[in-house]
Amino acid sequence: MPPELSVVGSVNLDFVVRCDRLPKPGESLTGATFERHPGGKGANQAVAAARLGADVMFAGNVGEDDLAEEALAGLTSVNGHFDVGGKTGVAFILVDREGETEIVVAPGANANPVMTRFPGNVLCQLEIPVDSVVEAAELADRFFLNAAPAKPIPVELVRTAEIVIVNRYELEALPETPRLTALTLGAEGAVLLKHGEEIARARPPRVNVVDGTAAGDAFSACLVVTRLEGYRWEEALQRACVAGALAASRAGAQPSLPTAAEVDAMLSS
């Protein structure tokens, strides 16, 4: 049986501009290209978990506007509950030739409370109100937190999480050291920390980085799904690094997310 996972989080429509390099403050650049993709950290992680073989339920908010359908287009493989109202969240993303990004998000409907009545295994991020994340954590049997983007959260949320997934900046923003942390290090891979002390490390395969937008979402989803499948955390960390690398090697957020078969193939190559 596939693992069951509920994801509570954000839904965005991504407006992606690809340019040779990122502009300096006050500078205008031309010669770029433009694309639109469904995104949002919550929706990305829900889609990623489904592609990795989980049975996924997703809860989030979208606007009552002409962007909503496009923002939800990637969630066809996910069972969803969506509250509608206001404006759909959007993300404006600049991507340079090295795959580095600059991202600004206008949350829109994602700033509204999210329906969180899901027991069982629950994964959340921080692109929705913290109160909704706290409610989701209280109802979950097993709670997993990707504490991104960095923002103030209550210490109880960190203590409830089975694992907290963060980058360096997000780790510094936490109110206390988690009991178990997956610290992502970009091209260097990831480290597993128990009460702040390293217990495992994994490195990603070498790939041609195209767009790092959803690499962290692929990592988070793969880490959680792999753990729910019964793997040890150290094994889950390695698979998650592979998933993140595969996502970074492709354009777009949800279009870049790998399947379980692709992760397996990369690990065996």
Distances (CA, A) of 27 to 21, 91, 98: 11, 20, 19
Q: Which of 56, 78, 169 is nearest to 123 (CA)?
A: 56
Q: Per-residue DSSP letters for 126-154?
A: SSS-HHHHHHHHHH-SEEEEE--S-----
Query: Contact, 97 vs 118, CB < 8 A?
Result: no
Cis peptide before 255 (omega within 30 of 0): no
Residues 6+ apart with CB under 8 A from 140: 6, 118, 119, 120, 121, 122, 160
Residues annotated catalytic, as ranges: 217
Query: Contact, 95 vs 16, CB < 8 A?
Result: yes
Instruction: Say which residue the tokens 């780790």 belong to.
Output: 171
Residues 6+ apart with CB under 8 A from 209: 98, 99, 187, 248, 249
Distance CA 205, CA 221 (A): 18
CA dihedral 164, 185, 129, 213 (to 10 degrees): -140
- Phi, then psi, of 227 in degrees rounded to 5: -65, -45
